[in-house]
Amino acid sequence: MLDALLAISTVAFIVAGAVVGVRLLRLAMRTHELTDYIVACSVLVLSPITYPLILVGTLGNFSLDETKLLSSISTTLIMIGWTGVFIFTQRVFRSGEMWARVFVGVGIAVIWYDGAAGIAFIQAAPDRAALQSPHSPLLWVQVAAIVVYAWSAFEGFRCWTLARRRLALGLADPLVVNRFLLWGFIGLSSLLSIVPSLVISLSGGNGMTHVGSRLCTAIGGLSASIALQLAFLPPAGYRRWVEARAAA
């Protein structure tokens, strides 16, 4: 049952990321806005590119060197994707604020410093067991990801709260207001996918095999996929529902 839920969640995450990512990339190619390119690339890199790569590396029958190569590439891609999430959050929600620029700088430095150490660890691993150890590095990369998703969720919910007041004055589009809410949910869902696994790993367990952690990962992945789709490629029926609710 849990395996089936994880499989559905994984497929949904990859498909939603691919569809939404391509649409955002096409939009960015039309607008030539850096912010649009950043969010498009982050979605594409984190979902339909890296996720299948991790699955192939985990499930495929590769030599140790090939597995190391795949792990190093997927780690680098994750670092690129999370760097994008940091920059996007700052550019959209806190542009022009010095503290946010410093915060993002620190976050990105942590990701790349610890990520580089993680890749060195992968390359030096003597066997497959060492690669799959729950105590491998990348702790601080994951902490940085938790911080940026929490920040991103906070900003989404904050903007949603403010935008609802503007909606009452006719100063906001109901779909944009709803998009802020969904953006907050995407951040929360991403946290749900990462935090339990990390906590279990830090407490000595294996986050990759723990039932509770896997359940959280599945629910988080599924809810993030749905929110991503509704936010950036909503079906006509959903659009009508949001607009009707705002008009009521």
Partner 1 sequence: MADAEAFDLICDQIEARTSLDRLAARGTVRIALKQAGLDSRSVTPEQMVVVAEKVLAGELSSRGIANANALCVDLAAKARKLVGGVSSETPDAIFRRLGG
Catalog residues that contact partner 1 under the rule CB under 8 A: 23-24, 27, 31, 33, 35-36, 39, 92-93, 95-97, 155, 159, 161-166, 169-173, 175-176, 179-180, 183, 231-234
For the bound state, the minimum distance from the C-beta of residue 173 to partner 1, rounded and expressed in Å, comes to: 6
For the bound state, the minimum distance from the C-beta of residue 227 to partner 1, rounded and expressed in Å, comes to: 13
For residue 193, the SS3 value is helix
26 vs 128, beta carbon nearer partner 1: 26
For the bound state, the minimum distance from the C-beta of residue 193 to partner 1, rounded and expressed in Å, comes to: 22
For the bound state, the minimum distance from the C-beta of residue 93 to partner 1, rounded and expressed in Å, comes to: 6
35 vs 58, beta carbon nearer partner 1: 35
169 vs 211, beta carbon nearer partner 1: 169
CA-closest candidate to residue 142, choices 124, 179, 173, 115: 115
181 vs 216, beta carbon nearer partner 1: 181
Q: Is residue 163 within 8 Å of 177, Cβ to Cβ?
A: yes
- Which residues have C-beta within 8 Å of that of residue 1, sequence separation ≥ 6? none
134 DSSP assignment = T
For the bound state, the minimum distance from the C-beta of residue 223 to partner 1, rounded and expressed in Å, comes to: 19
For the bound state, the minimum distance from the C-beta of residue 194 to partner 1, rounded and expressed in Å, comes to: 24
What is the C-alpha to C-alpha distance for residues 166 and 161, in angstroms, rounded to an integer?
9
119 vs 159, beta carbon nearer partner 1: 159
What is the C-alpha to C-alpha distance for residues 194 and 150, in angstroms, rounded to an integer?
11
Phi and psi (nearest 5°) for 222?
-70, -45
24 vs 141, beta carbon nearer partner 1: 24
CA-closest candidate to residue 149, choices 94, 99, 186, 111: 186
CA-closest candidate to residue 78, choices 156, 127, 144, 7: 144
